[in-house]
Structure 1
């Protein structure tokens, strides 16, 4: 199995597949991330030279859709996206249009490539808005801004700040009407013809600090469960089944939503593995992950064997996360050792690390050290399991959220009352 990775995020999955007895090679596109995985799995320096060697090829990120399609056309079995699913995620306007085409209600939104035009729009249409970068800039999660002012004045101030600091480099962005409710994601694997059952329901914790304070990071941790019967799935991803089949998609897709007593509002697609979603999913799988990936790629798998109950996961990160600051990373975090009090690594997933003399060392440039997962019949059980495992891990200058999973206690009551669980 050949893994083609944008940033090296897929290391943990590649390592699991290797430990299941398969031959594995990992290619990382980003040059500054290429140390990730050394000592864990064999590396490839030009993935195209290993196409003939591979029985299965796994692409781990959005933007590889055309490459996936080209490789599939040669008869190779591919787990990954398509040009259509790339566009669902990267072109927010197209994604929203496709939701409406599939009879799914969306929030009002508008795309801009001019800060002054966006400011003028808010002044003419005062409301609470969410500012979302589009295209490649959307990878910088700290740029996403969720406004709280009902007249949009806080978003206007942010637009002025981005105009001064980013200028034309910011690219296109979207203003979306803000609604209050429960944020929830629906994820599922698609085998080229149909969605696999069960599907995955996740609750992301995106802010840096407990209590949803601080900068947006993309994600600091997630809680989740698997279900065969989901009103959320039936009203979001299920209507896309025939379209994804027409597009030849073999992979994982996720739709992030806000739901409240008035309805369900899809926000954005993730047409690939979610990170850290896939690692926490793995904690709930009874099937080997290699078997799942192959069954999705060749279209033979329709069911997933999973644990009952809940799964949670939290990142342990180091400076300068979530920012990109090479000097700070090299000063505080580069080659720092991850120490285990006891020789027990169950539930500890290597992220941006390498292995030297059996020691785990932090590498790359983002400061994501490990993800620690836990499972349990109740959410509290899963939380205890995870935080007990975290206490076994020593990461100098490391920090993590201490409230991953707490949202479930209130969110579940709301979702039950709205008929969505």
Structure 2
């Protein structure tokens, strides 16, 4: 996102708070070691000056900057709570008139195990905190959650005594998982909203640990009903909190209705890069349109975008990255066209002696994207791009979007949600 703005002639200065990630995009973007020293520079830009946050734990700071007259794209203190405190997020959804799956908060693995033993039904384990490792979350596979109980007992035997856990157990909902994302301008949602289908497990066939995201299907087509039913009821609470930015609600859909599960109160990875492939207006124009409240739509392409996350070991973990993969050369096919190069959104990379190498903390190389009128064709385009990136031990899923195009879209349309 920042690289695109810089390439289009805008002045961009990027602050990286995580010291372990200081190498990311080194040699590729203008960096600053102290973002607060840049506030005068931003203020001098007047209506063209923007500050963008991509986290869900600096909401109070964003609120303060807005109160001081700065144009801030990101979230708010409320947005942080919606994402980090799962039960609070569920309560806000219920107050907005949406139905939610029953969930129960815990700070003790033992108590949670006893609760499951008394219920003997299927639950989902989700940790609170925007920065909590997604790999620790778990969806029970057995109807009595005995496998989840065993995992909780394992966590209890290995927990650090000085830091009690903070998590919820949510009743499992059978259905199709889909997200709806919208751009809130401080007063209302833009009419332009997207739907997405995340693929969270590490291996094809939905096997392995929950990573956060290994690939996603995105479309701006057919989102109107979900926007009206899920996002618009939240407008009042977001308006009262001063929220201005992108927000996504992940939910389960079935014949009984829609069941919102969780918030993403920020630009998600790799969601922003996949959405951008469908944009016919650059990010800076969308942001200014939001701040100026000068329109409720921006131009998007029809059809679908598919993104495939590219990783190297030890992703999704961090331990051993220095020894296994950090600093490995990233080679692109010499026949890559400018359009194909634009379809690769790099993440943990940097320039070193005029060569692209891996950087960062865990081996999240980036995302290869493809666009087409159908999910099947967009998948094929994305896979073609992924095959033109050469990195030792590169891994990615080759089934992103397969079930979406073959099953999910048709069922959601039959249920009347799209």
Q: 1:134 and 2:128 equivalent?
A: yes
- SS at 1:336 equivalent: coil
CA contact (8 A) 2:305 2:375 kept: yes
What is the distance in 1 between the residues matched to 2:317 and 2:292?
39
CA contact (8 A) 1:191 1:300 kept: no
Cα deviation per residue 1:103-138 (whole Å; 9 max; x = unaligned)?
1000010000011111111111111000111125x5
Aligned ranges 1:8-47 → 2 under 5 Å: 13-47=1-35
- 1:285: which partner in 2? 279
Q: 1:369 aligns with which of 365, 368, 373?
A: 365
Q: 1:261 and 2:261 equivalent?
A: no
- SS at 1:274 equivalent: coil
What is the distance in 2 between the residues matched to 1:170 and 1:216?
22
- 1:329: which partner in 2? 321
- 2:382: which partner in 1? 386
- 2:410: which partner in 1? 413
- 2:142: which partner in 1? 149
Q: 1:161 and 2:154 equivalent?
A: yes
What is the distance in 2 between the residues matched to 1:23 and 1:289?
14
Cα deviation per residue 1:48-68 (whole Å; 9 max; x = unaligned)?
111111211000110110110
Q: 2:266 aligns with which of 272, 280, 283?
A: 272
What is the distance in 2 between the residues matched to 1:67 and 1:403?
40
Q: 1:53 aligns with which of 41, 47, 63?
A: 41
1:299 to partner: Cα distance = 3.2
Q: 1:314 and 2:308 equivalent?
A: yes
- SS at 1:130 equivalent: strand
- SS at 1:321 equivalent: coil
Aligned ranges 1:286-301 → 2 under 5 Å: 286-301=280-295
CA contact (8 A) 1:309 1:375 kept: yes
Cα deviation per residue 1:325-384 (whole Å; 9 max; x = unaligned)?
0xx211221111110122531301110111124321111111011211000011111111
Paired positions, count = 406
- 1:6: which partner in 2? none
1:391 to partner: Cα distance = 1.6
What is the distance in 2 between the residues matched to 1:356 and 1:265?
47
CA contact (8 A) 2:247 2:264 kept: yes
What is the distance in 1 between the residues matched to 2:69 and 2:402?
46
- SS at 2:191 equivalent: coil
Q: Which runs of 4+ in 1 moved over 6 A?
A: none
Cα deviation per residue 1:63-109 (whole Å; 9 max; x = unaligned)?
11011011111111110111111111111111011111011000010
What is the distance in 2 between the residues matched to 1:252 and 1:281?
11
1:280 to partner: Cα distance = 0.2
What is the distance in 2 between the residues matched to 1:113 and 1:242?
31
- SS at 1:52 equivalent: helix
CA contact (8 A) 2:201 2:210 kept: yes
CA contact (8 A) 2:221 2:303 kept: no
- 2:393: which partner in 1? 397
TM-score, scaled to structure 1: 0.94
TM-score, scaled to structure 2: 0.95
What is the root-mean-square deviation in Å for CA atoms of aligned residues?
1.3
Q: CA 1:178 to 1:282, structure 2 compared with 1: closer, same or farther past 3 Å?
A: same
What is the distance in 2 between the residues matched to 1:359 and 1:301?
42
What is the distance in 2 between the residues matched to 1:343 and 1:368?
24
What is the distance in 2 between the residues matched to 1:359 and 1:299?
42
CA contact (8 A) 1:191 1:301 kept: no
Q: CA 1:117 to 1:229, structure 2 compared with 1: closer, same or farther past 3 Å?
A: closer
1:301 to partner: Cα distance = 4.0
What is the distance in 2 between the residues matched to 1:234 and 1:158?
39
Q: 1:181 aligns with which of 175, 179, 201?
A: 175
What is the distance in 1 between the residues matched to 2:62 and 2:198?
28
CA contact (8 A) 1:311 1:374 kept: yes
What is the distance in 1 between the residues matched to 2:295 and 2:73?
13
Gaps of 5+ in 1: 1-12
CA contact (8 A) 1:130 1:177 kept: yes
What is the distance in 1 between the residues matched to 2:159 and 2:194?
37
Q: CA 1:139 to 1:294, structure 2 compared with 1: closer, same or farther past 3 Å?
A: farther
Q: CA 1:228 to 1:196, structure 2 compared with 1: closer, same or farther past 3 Å?
A: farther
- SS at 1:196 equivalent: strand
